[in-house]
């Protein structure tokens, strides 16, 4: 019985690592495209990425569920069930350890690319916020300290009275 479970996790591990690598590659490509759309302020392009992003999220969740099942099967066989990397080292098929290391490296790269896109989006949001403030105040900053209203209390871009 334990032998059958061991064969299950050993035969499922290469497929999982291949599926994970494929999903990671697609996500890296998607993040690169998204970064280009963000940099170019291409809202149409950004909206086209949403469906692909949702599909990739489903694929990655599936990989995560399969990973949990695979680790549980390995624990049931008395093998270390805390990481795929350890299981890949125990597997009889060659190249599994390298695939696991590659998946870990790609995950670090994905985190980095996601953070880069987040920073780019935040900077764009800050830029828009500053533009709105310039339009609202007519380019004149309100004094931080002092009493009463500023001499120029209306925005010349918004109101033509100044």
Render pLDDT for 70-85 as a digit per residue (tens, 0 to 9).
Answer: 888 888 888 877 788 8
DSSP state of 146: -
Q: What pLDDT, on the 0 to 100 scale, is given for residue 111?
A: 94
Residue 5 scores a pLDDT above 80? no
Domain with 64, as residue range(s), is 2-137
- Show the tokens assigned to 27: 């996500």
Q: Which one has a higher pLDDT value, 124 or 139?
A: 124
Average pLDDT of span 136-155: 63
Residue 78 lies in a domain: yes
Q: What pLDDT, on the 0 to 100 scale, is given for residue 115?
A: 94
Residue 53 lies in a domain: yes
Residue 156 lies in a domain: no
What mean pLDDT, rounded, does the chain reach? 81
Q: What pLDDT, on the 0 to 100 scale, is given for residue 91?
A: 63
Structural domains of the chain, count? 1
44, 31, 39: which is closest to 121 by C-alpha?
39
Residue 121 lies in a domain: yes
Q: What pLDDT, on the 0 to 100 scale, is given for residue 4?
A: 43
- Show the tokens assigned to 40: 């170019």
Residue 142 lies in a domain: no
**Residues 25-56: pLDDT tens digits?**
999 999 999 999 988 888 899 899 999 999 99
Residue 95 lies in a domain: yes
Residue 153 lies in a domain: no
Of 14-18, 118-122, 148-152, least confident by mean pLDDT is 148-152
C-beta pairs of 99-105 under 8 Å, 24+ apart in sequence: 99/14, 99/17, 99/18, 99/21, 100/17, 102/21, 103/17, 103/20, 103/21, 103/24
Q: Which one has a higher pLDDT value, 10 or 157?
A: 10
Give CA angle at 123 (153, 33), nearest 5°: 140
The b/e string for 41-50 (b: 16+ C-beta within 10 A; e otherwise) is eeeeebeeee
φ, ψ for residue 56, nearest 5 deg: -65, -35
Residue 58 lies in a domain: yes
């Amino acid at each position: 019985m334990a032998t059958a479970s061991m064969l299950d996790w050993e035969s499922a591990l290469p497929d999982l690592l291949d599926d994970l690598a494929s999903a990671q590659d697609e996500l890296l490509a998607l993040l690169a495209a998204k970064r280009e759309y963000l940099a170019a302020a291409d809202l149409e392009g950004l909206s086209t990425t949403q469906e692909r992003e949702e599909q990739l999220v489903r694929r990655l969740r599936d990989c995560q569920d399969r990973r949990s099942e695979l680790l549980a099967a390995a624990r049931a066989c008395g093998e270390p069930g805390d990481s795929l990397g350890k299981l890949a080292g125990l597997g009889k098929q060659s190249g599994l350890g390298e695939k696991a290391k590659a998946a870990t490296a790609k995950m670090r790269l994905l985190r980095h690319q996601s953070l880069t896109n987040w920073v780019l989006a935040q900077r764009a949001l800050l830029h828009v916020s500053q533009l709105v403030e310039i339009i609202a105040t007519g380019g004149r900053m309100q004094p931080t300290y002092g009493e009463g209203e500023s001499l120029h209390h209306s925005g010349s871009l918004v109101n033509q009275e100044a």
